[in-house]
Amino acid sequence: MTLQLRVYVPEHPLIQHWLGVARDRHTPSVLFKSAMTELGRWLTYEASRQWLLTGETTVETPLAECPATLIMPDSPMMIVPILRAGLSLLDGAQTLLPLASTYHVGLVRDEETLEASCYLNKLPDQISPQTRILILDPMLATGGSMLTVLEELTKRGADTSLMRIISVVAAHVALQKLSQAYPSLTIYTAAIDEHLNDVGYIVPGLGDAGDRAFGT
Ligand code: PRP
Ligand code: URA
Angle between helices 87-96 and 29-48 (to 10 degrees): 40
Residue 61 maps to a domain: no
By the 8 A CB rule, do 155 and 185 touch? no
Atom of ligand 1 nearest to the CA of 144: 14
Ligand nearest to the CA of 146: 1
Tell me what pLDDT residue 1 has.
61
Tell me what pLDDT residue 73 has.
85
> Whose CA is closest to 184, among 164, 156, 170?
164
Residues with CB under 6 A from ligand 2: 85, 139, 141, 201-202, 205, 208-210
Question: Facing residues of 6 across strands?
Answer: 186
Atom of ligand 1 nearest to the CA of 145: 14
Read off the pTM.
Answer: 0.97
Segments forming the whole domain that contains residue 96: 10-50+77-214
Distance 86 CA to ligand 1 centre (A): 9
Beta strands at 186-193 and 163-171: parallel, antiparallel or unpaired:
parallel
> How many domains is the chain partitioned into structurally?
1
By the 8 A CB rule, do 152 and 121 touch? yes
Per-residue pLDDT of the chain (216 residues; tens, 9 = 90+): 667 999 999 999 999 999 999 999 999 999 999 999 999 999 999 999 989 999 999 999 999 999 999 998 889 999 999 999 999 999 999 999 999 999 999 999 998 999 999 999 999 999 999 999 999 999 999 999 999 999 999 999 999 999 999 999 999 999 999 999 999 999 999 999 989 999 999 999 999 999 999 999
Alpha helices in the chain (DSSP H): 13-23, 29-48, 87-96, 144-155, 172-181, 209-214
Contacting residues for 124 by C-beta, under 8 A, at least 6 apart: 103, 156
Tell me what pLDDT residue 216 has.
93
Residue 5 maps to a domain: no
> Whose CA is closest to 188, among 19, 1, 69?
19
- Tell whether ligand 1 has an atom less than 6 A from the beta carbon of residue 81: no
Residue 68 maps to a domain: no
Residue 58 maps to a domain: no
Tell me what pLDDT residue 3 has.
72
Distance 63 CA to ligand 2 centre (A): 55
Helix (H/G/I), strand (E/B), else coil: 149: helix
- Tell whether ligand 1 has an atom less than 6 A from the beta carbon of residue 143: yes
Residue 162 maps to a domain: yes
Identity (one letter) of the amino acid at 104? H
By the 8 A CB rule, do 166 and 3 touch? no
Residue 1 maps to a domain: no
Residue 56 maps to a domain: no
Residue 170 maps to a domain: yes
By the 8 A CB rule, do 56 and 67 touch? yes
- CATH number at 31 reads 3.40.50.2020
- The verdict on whether omega for the bond into residue 84 sits within 30 degrees of 0, i.e. cis, is yes
Contacting residues for 212 by C-beta, under 8 A, at least 6 apart: 22, 27, 29, 32, 206
